[in-house]
Amino acid sequence: MKKNILTLILSLSLIVGFSLVALTAPVTLQFNINTEPPTLDPALTTDTTSLLVVGQIFLGLTNYDSKTGEIIPELAKSWSVSDDGLKWTFQLRNDVVWTDGTPVTAHDVVYSMIRMLNPKTAASSANLLWVVRGAEPYNTGQGLVEDVGIKAVGDYTVEFTLEHPVGFFSALASRVCVTVPKQAIEKYGAKWIEPENIVTDGPFKLSEWKHQDYLVLAKNPDYYNASHVSIDKIYCPMVVEASTAMAMYEVGKLDCLRDIPLEDLDRVKNDPILSKELHVTKRWGTYFYGFNAKKPPFDNPLVRKAFASAIDRKSLIEYVLKGGQGPAQTFISPGIPGYIDGVKEGIGYPYDPEMARKYLAEAGYPNGKDFPKVTLMFNTSEAHRNIAQAIQQMWKDVLGVEVNIINQEWKVYLDTLQQNTPQIFRLGWMASYPDGYDYLKRNFYSTVLENYVGYKSPGFDSSVDELERETNPTKRMEAFLKAEALLCDTDCAIVPIYYYTMQELAKPYVVRDFTPTINDVPQFKDWEITK
Amino acid sequence: MINYIIRRILWAIPVLLIISLVTFGLLHVIPGGPFDEEKPLPAEIIANLDAYYGLDDPLWKQYTDYLWNALHGDFGPSYSSRSRTVNDIISDHFPVSAQLGALALIIAMIVGVPLGTVSALKQNSFLDYSCMFFALLGVSVPAMTLGPVLIWFFALKLRILPVARWGTLQQAILPAFTLGIGRAALLARLTRASMLQVIREDYIRTARSKGVSERNVTIHHALKNALIPVVTVIGPMFAALVTGSLIVEQIFAIPGCGKYFVTSITNRDYPVVLGIMLLYAFLIIMANLIVDLTYAWIDPRIKYN
C-alpha cells in the first residue's frame, strides 16, 4: 500500500514537473546569421550581419512600417518640424531603460550623435548626418563640436537643427539615429560590445557570443514593449557555406534559411514539404548595369539606349535568376518612397529588339557593323557571371555586337570602378533608409564619389535637391519622376535590370511575415513560434 | 646536438623576418584597402580611419612599428573585427584548428598505415589492388566535394551524425575524416613502398630463419624500420593539416583559424593576415625541426653536430 502511494506520488510529481518544464521551456528560434559580425557598435556597422544583430538589440529614434509605408515611433514617441523646415523636435518615451537599469534619455541621444560625428570615431555612416548644421565641418575635422545643431532640451526632448530643410529626416532617423550607452563605452573602450560588457535597450539583448561560432539573443524583459515579444531566445550559428546551412535546415537545426543554394532550388520547388515552406520576399535593392559615358562608344546616348533595349529581363529572371525577381526599368525599388513604376509611366527601356536595332543604326552601327569590342565588368561571383553571360548573348543576338566579360575580386573591382571605370559595369544598390533620395543622391549626383558613370546633369541634380528639401509629398513625387526620367530614360545613364528578392525557407511553426525590411533586418520582435 | 637545435632555432628568426617583410609588401601592393566598401565612405572618413590605425604613416614606419609591437607580443588590432585583437583571434581559434588537424592526422595514421602494410605484405593480390584504389580515390577527391557528400549521406540520409559545427566528438568525425582521408592515402602509399623495400632486407630473412613468428617479424622488425620515412612526413603533414583546413572549416562551420586567414585577406585586414601567416610559418619551421630530431633519434646512423 505504502509502495503504491509512493509510486503514485512520484509519477504525479514527474508529470507535473515535465508539464511545468514544457510550459516554461524557452521559445527558441534557430536563425543562421552566416558570418561573424565585424562589430556591434551601431556607429561602425555597414555590413548586413552586424546590422541584423544591432537591429535587435538597439533602438532607433523611429522605425519604418513596410506594410503601411509610414515612419513609426520607436524611441521617439512623436516629432514635429518647424515651419521653415529647419528644426526637428523629437519627444522621447520616458519608459525606456538600458539593460543596466539606467534610463535612456535625450542626453544619450545627443551623446550618440555627437560620437558618431566625432572624426576620431571614424563612423562609417556619419555622412548621412551631414544635413545637420555644423555636422560636416565637425566630422571632417574643420569645425567645432559646439556648433553642431543637436541639443537636448530637458531629459526627453531632442532638437535637430538642419542646414536646409530635409523632407524625409524622420526616415533618416530610423537608420542613423541609434542610441548607444555612454556608460559602457567610456568604461570599456573598444571592447564595450563584448557580451560581458555590452549594455542595450532593444527588444533583445546579447546573452552569449562565441566569436566565429554562434551568438545568442535573449528577450529583454525591460524592453518597453516586452509583452509583445513572444520569442525568448534566438540561437544564431554562423554557417557560411550555403549547402551546409541547407542540410541543417533539413534536419531541423535551423528554423529559417535565407541563402538557398541555386542547385537546390528546383528540388525544393518540387518537394511536397519544402515547396510549402518556400517564400519569396521582396528586397529593397536594385541590380543595374552602368555605362561609363566618358568612354566611347558609350558617350553616345543612342548606343546606351540600344544596349538597354536589348535586355530581355523576363527571360533572365525566368531562366537564369529563377528567384521571382521583379524586372526593373527605374532605379528606386518598389515600396520605397520615390518609386516610379516604369511600365505605367513609360519611363525606361523595356525589351524591344526592333527599337534596339534602330537606336544602334541611328548611332552609326547598323546591325553592329564596325562596332568596337567593348568590355563588361563584374565582381567575381557565380550569379553575376551567369547574368553577364546571358546578357552578353542577348546583345550579340539582338545587336550583333561583341562584348568581352571580365570579373575581378571585390575589393580590386571597387578600386577599378574608382580609378578606371569600365565601359559597362555591374552594381547593385540596397536602400540605407526608407527613402529614394538615398538611391539617387549617393549614386548619380554630379559631385559624389560613387558616381562612377560620370553622370553630370544639372536637371537631375536640381530635381534631387528639390526632393531632398520638399516636404509636400505630391511635389516630392513630381521631382522623383523628373529625376528618374532623366536618369533612366532621356539620358539612359544606367540600365536597371531587376529588383532584388530573397528566397526564404521557413518552418511552418515560425509565424512571421515576409515583407521587405531595410538592410533585410528581420523584425524578430514580431515573430512567433507555435510549437 | 644542443648546438644543432640552437642553430636551427636561430635560423628561424631571419626566416620569419623575411616572411613578414614579403607578406607586408604584398599586402600593400595589391589593390584595395581595408575600408573599401560597396557604399564607398567619403574620403574624409577614410582619412579618419587611416589615422586611427596608423595607416597614414609611411610604409617603412608602419612595418617597423609592427615589428616592434610584435616583438613585445602585441600583434595589432583587427581592422574588420573592431573589438578584437590579433592575439584574441589566434588564442580563440588556433586551438580549434589544431584539434581538427590532430584528429585528421590520427585518422590518416589509423587508416593509412595498416592499409599500406597489408598491401605490402600481400603484394599484387586483390587486397593490394583494392587498397591502392582507395588510396587513389582518397587523394583525388577534394575536400570541397567529399565534405558535402559525407554530410548528405551521414547527416541527411542516415541521420546518425550531426551536419556541422564543432564542440562534441560526433561533430568532429566528419570534418576530421574529410580532412584526413587524403593524407591517409598518402601514408598508405608511402608505407607500402617503404615496407616492400624493408621486407626484402637481409635481416628480415635472418629473423625468419631464426624462427621468429611472422607477426613478430612484421611488426617488431619490419614495420619499425619501414616507418622511418613515414615519421619524417608526419611533422610537416600536421603543420599542413592545421594550416590547410580552411575549406573543411568553411563547409562544416568550424570556428578555426583557416576561415579567418582567408577572410582577412579578402577584407585586407593586414594585422590578422600577418599574424596568422607568421604563426603558420613558425608552426612549419617547428614541425620540420621536430621531425629532423625524431629522425635522428630513430635512426642511429644519423648524427647532427
Nearest CA-CA partner of A293 in A461, A483, A421, A447: A421
Note the Cα A280 to chain centre separation in Å: 16
Residue B40 has a pLDDT of 66
Q: Is B32 on the interface with A (CB under 8 A)?
A: yes
Q: What is the pLDDT of residues B166-184, one digit of tens each?
A: 999 999 999 999 999 989 9
Cβ neighbours of A40 in B, within 8 Å: 83
Contact B45 A411 (CB under 8 A): no
The answer to whether B157 contacts chain A (CB < 8 Å) is: no
pLDDT of residue A19: 56
Nearest residue of B to residue A447, measured between CA atoms: B42
The stretch B181-204 carries a mean pLDDT of 90
Of A122, A141, A251, the CB nearest to B52: A122
Which among A38, A212, A411 has CB closest to B93?
A212
Find, in chain A, the residue whose alpha carbon is nearest to that of B50.
A122
Nearest chain B CA: its distance from A241 CA (Å): 5
Q: Do A414 and B37 touch (CB under 8 A)?
A: yes
Q: How high is the pLDDT of residue A125? A: 84
Q: Are residues B41 and A124, on separate chains, in Cβ contact within 8 Å?
A: yes
Residues of chain A positioned with their CB less than 8 A from the CB of B166: 213
- B156 closest CB neighbour out of A250, A412, A442: A250
Which positions 67-106 of B are in contact with A (Cβ < 8 Å)?
Answer: 77, 80-84, 88-89, 92-93
Contact B163 A213 (CB under 8 A): no
Q: What is the pLDDT of residue A17?
A: 57
Cβ A238–B253 below 8 Å, yes or no? yes
pLDDT of residue B35: 81
Q: What is the ipTM of this complex?
A: 0.85
pLDDT at A156: 96
Rounded to a whole number of angstroms, the distance from the CA of B14 to the nearest CA of chain A is 32
The string of DSSP codes covering A3-58 is HHHHHHHHHHHHHHHHHHHHHHS--EEEB---S--S---TTT--SHHHHHHHHHHS
Residues of chain B with C-beta less than 8 angstroms from the C-beta of A190: 77, 82-83
C-alpha distance from B142 to closest chain A C-alpha (Å): 16
A227 CA: distance to closest CA in chain B (Å): 33
Residues A442, B39: C-beta atoms closer than 8 Å? yes
pLDDT of B203 above 90 = no
Contact residues on chain B for A450, CB-CB shorter than 8 A: 39-40
Report pLDDT for A7: 67
* Set of chain B residues whose Cβ sits within 8 Å of the Cβ of A41: 82-83
Nearest to B251 among A244, A251, A414 (CB): A244
Cβ <8 Å between B252 and A244: yes
Residues of chain B found within 8 Å of residue A122, distances taken between Cβ atoms: 45, 48-49, 51-52
User: Which pLDDT does position A3 carry in this prediction?
Assistant: 67
Per-residue pLDDT tens digits for B245-261:
889 999 999 999 888 88
Determine the Cα–Cα distance for residues A420 and A299; give it in Å rounded to an integer.
Answer: 15
CB B253 to CB A239 under 8 A? Answer: yes
Q: What part of B 243-262 touches A (C-beta under 8 Å)?
A: 250-253, 255-256, 259-260
A424-430 and A374-379: which strand pairing?
parallel
Helix (H) or strand (E) holding B171: helix B169-198
**How large is the average pLDDT for residues B62-87?**
90
Which residue of A244, A246, A452 is the best one to mutate when testing the B interface, meaning the one whose CB has the most B CBs within 10 A?
A: A244
pLDDT for residue B220:
79
Task: Give the gap in angstroms from C-alpha A381 to the nearest C-alpha of chain B.
Answer: 14
Chain A residues in contact with B268 (beta carbon < 8 A): 411
Determine whether the interchain pair B260/A212 forms a contact, defined as Cβ–Cβ distance below 8 Å. yes
Q: Which residues contact A4 (CB under 8 A, 6 or more apart)?
A: none
From first to last of its 531 residues, what are the pLDDT tens digits of chain A?
Answer: 566 777 677 666 666 655 555 556 788 999 999 999 989 999 988 888 999 999 999 999 999 887 787 899 999 999 999 999 999 999 999 999 999 999 999 999 999 999 999 988 888 888 889 999 999 999 988 899 999 999 999 999 999 999 999 989 999 999 889 999 999 999 999 899 999 999 999 999 999 999 989 999 999 999 999 999 999 999 999 999 999 999 999 999 999 999 888 888 889 999 999 999 999 999 999 999 999 999 999 999 999 999 999 999 999 999 998 888 999 999 999 999 999 999 999 999 999 999 999 999 999 999 989 999 999 999 999 889 999 999 999 999 999 999 999 999 988 998 899 889 999 999 999 998 999 999 999 899 998 888 888 899 999 999 999 999 998 889 999 999 999 999 999 999 999 999 999 999 999 999 998 999 999 999 999 999 997
Between the two ends of chain A, the Cα-to-Cα distance in Å is 40
Q: Does residue B298 surpass a pLDDT of 60?
A: yes
CB A32 within 8 A of CB A505: no
Q: How far apart are CA A417 and CA A401, in angstroms?
A: 23
C-alpha cell of residue B116: 599500406
Query: Within the 165-184 window of chain B, which residues sit less than 8 Å (CB to CB) from chain A?
Result: 165-166
* β pairing state of A494-506 and A76-81: unpaired
- The better pLDDT of the pair B192, A12 is held by B192
Judge contact between A245 and B149, C-beta under 8 A: no
End-to-end, the C-alpha distance of chain B in Å comes to 6
Partners of B84 on chain A (C-beta within 8 Å) are 211
| H or E, element range at A528 | strand A528-529
Contact B92 A211 (CB under 8 A): yes
Contact check, Cβ <8 Å, A213/B83:
no
Report the alpha-carbon distance of residue A233 to residue A497 in Å, rounded.
39
Residue B305 pLDDT greater than 70, yes or no = no
Distance from the Cα of A20 to chain B's closest Cα (Å) equals 29
Q: Which of B39, B49, B252 sits opposite A122 (nearest CB)?
A: B49
Strand, coil or helix: what is A74? coil
d(CA B208, CA B213): 7
Q: Which residues of B touch A139 (CB under 8 A)?
A: 44-45
Cis before A297? omega within 30:
yes
What residues contact B74, with CB distance under 8 A and at least 6 apart? B85, B87
Taking CB atoms and an 8 Å limit, are A211 and B255 in contact across chains?
Answer: yes
Distance from CA of A39 to the nearest CA of B (A): 6
- Angle between helix axes B169-198 and B224-243 (nearest 10 degrees) is 140
Note the pLDDT of residue B188: 92
d(CA A110, CA A92): 12
Mean pLDDT, chain B, rounded, equals: 88
Spatial CA neighbour of A480 closest among A490, A468, A492: A468
Q: Which residue has the cell 544596349?
A: A307
- pLDDT category at B216 given cuts 50, 70, 90 is confident
Q: How far, in Å, are A79, A235, A248, B51 from residue A215 at the CA level?
A: 35, 6, 17, 32
b vs e for B250-262, b when ≥16 Cβ sit within 10 Å of the residue's Cβ?
A: bbbbbbbbbbbbe
